[in-house]
Structure 1
Amino acid sequence: MKTQVAIIGAGPSGLLLGHLLHLQGIDTVILEAKSPDYVLGRIRAGVLEQGTVDLLREAGVAARMDREGQVHEGVAFSFAGRQERIDLKALSGGKTVTVYGQTEVTRDLMDARRAAGGVSIYEAQDVALHDFYSDKPYVTFVRDGQTIELHCDYIAGCDGFHGISRRSAPADRIRTFERVYPFGWLGVLSRTPPVAHELIYANHERGFALCSMRSEQLSRYYVQCSLDDKVEDWSDQRFWDELRARLPQATAAALVTGPSIEKSIAPLRSFVAEPMQFGRLFLVGDAAHIVPPTGAKGLNLAASDVHALYHILRKTLLQGRTDLVAQYSGICLRRIWKAERFSWWMTSVLHRFSDDGFSQRMQLAELDYYTGSEAGRTTIAENYVGLPYEPIE
């Protein structure tokens, strides 16, 4: 088999990159180790930055998002018994965020690739990357018991944190940075109306809480929990009681509860791999970086990687701009580290790390300062809606 760009992974970043390149007449083949149903079964966040929304529109896959997604012009921070709203739109020059589930983004991209006749090979086993430091890289995989070679010009590793792409990089040429947080998030999905029309991030002496949503009748709630906790330790009643305890009184009184339809515990970590390019292999999204979900940056960082790589490959393959390829890692990492900083800051000021009273007072002072200052509110808004993409020139 031959293609111009071999894409490893059929999550949202791989599918979006493949569709954008297809629109430019660039041939791609996507290899995915799992089945389509497995990919669609991953429950992930769904707060899309303005840049991600614009990129999905550019790809022509935003019709359902524009119809069903919820545009949010603000976000709230709850602490010390009060709630402060950040006016995202007013403070960021008109930008907003859109609540639209990552599963739905993936479904829309799958449908678009199928309609366009793009090649996506699911349940590809034993994927291996070869000769990516040469000008003739190729990928091998096993399908129906047969080993197949896929020859290409470039390889985009969009296969997540546990995928083969980052593990294929030479150990002496890659450096990783990581911080593992000493708590997790217990998340519950319920078929109930959200307690508020915008997200609420809560700092409470009992721990962090987040009120989010998927739609007007589908709510997503989280509470900070111990990494030793198990899902079966948390009955629905215990979860709702704990969530109420961490919210302001008026918000807690308005909470509509119901049976959970999904419940899970997720650990939190920050992770970055440098560089993100190895010859003709590029790491994209979770293959190169992980953020704690507090800042709602995971999918959005993947989209910004896709934006950079799409424009670099477009100009390289269609215009012969061989000078751009080496810029990918630097362009992406500048934005990634800023998003890592914001996610780290949000995690640091909203979660309970210990019983140390001084540290807790510092968190409250930080939140009081940032939400009480126009400069502070602007900083939060600019980062939350997403910093601008760096132009590829």
Structure 2
Amino acid sequence: MVKRRYLNGKALGKLIEEGKVVTNRRKFPLPDTPEYDIIKAKVESGEDYKLIADSLGMTFKGFKDALRSYGLGRITKAYEGVLPPTYKHLKSDTWEEHLRVIKDMDKLIAFHQRVPSELTIEIETDRPIGLVNTSDWQLGQFGVDYDSFESDINFIGDNPNLKCIIGGDGYQNIIQTSKIGSSHNQTPISVQKGLYVLTLKKLVRSILAIKTGNHNYWTAMAEGEDWDGELAKRLKLIYLKHYALIHLKVGEMVYPILTMHQSRFNSSFNLTHTCLQNQRMYFPQARIVVVEHHHQAAIEQYRYNGRECIAIRPGTYAVYDDYAQQYGFFGSHVANPTCILFPDRDKLVGFKDMRDAVTYLRAVV
């Protein structure tokens, strides 16, 4: 039996140099010769091994074996490009700088989000005026009484002594995925908003202020932009958003009015309860308190702190409301409660029916 003896690369290289072993590696130049130095430089610089092997008349495998024997190989070059800056841990801005930047950002956001919660509106007149608190329009919803809507809008526009505060829920705006079924019971939202804008333009000389409602505000909650607020800026209307205490100066008299779309303290047995409790707990100076949203109109005139006051719940034009019926809410009806305000003495008179108010107004003017 023949025993095979395997040599490592260096031992084999030494035998080749001594001429004791003859292989094709013998074609590889011996160390300390100019030819060896040339091949070494080519190998270390990264030239193609196959091209070098061919130039020596060696096979590719034999050439690589020879490289291992002499311990030769490519030398990785230093990076020749421009290195990016060495990483350094960023230093955070100070506590004071954080506050400064956040305050500046808050001022910027406030222009788009913040509205006055207490303000004065002046009406220069020496005659009584009628202040109309409009029903929820709900434009675009199935079941809206558009005939009454058209008639009432024209009526307000035709009576110069009427001023109005446009309540919330001006358009239906079903956009939530949770109400996707109800969204089919409406005209396209672009049409709803179009009619809403055109109505505001039609009444622009009569409007004291406008508010949003939960329907309108669904868009702001979904995408962060208060569409009604931006619209009010374009039309140069006062935008109250959810609520406000208006000090309405009529001639020489001032009538504080609290108006909001929806609130707490609601009662199915006493519709004006929410108005009275908001006045008692938060706004005792208010003379007129208006809370919308529930679609059942009511009006109550009473004395509080020795003065005549009026509590108002406007109605709605959505007289057939599938959503309301689903939860057992009945009695929705159109009503735009109106207050007659005198400019020369502390006197206010409330009417549930806007046309009854105008009949009275014409009698006292």
Query: What is the TM-score when the length of structure 1 is the normalising length?
Result: 0.24
**Greater C-alpha radius of gyration:** 2
Structure of greater relative contact order (alpha carbons < 8 Å, 6+ residues apart) = 1
TM-score calculated relative to the size of structure 2? 0.25
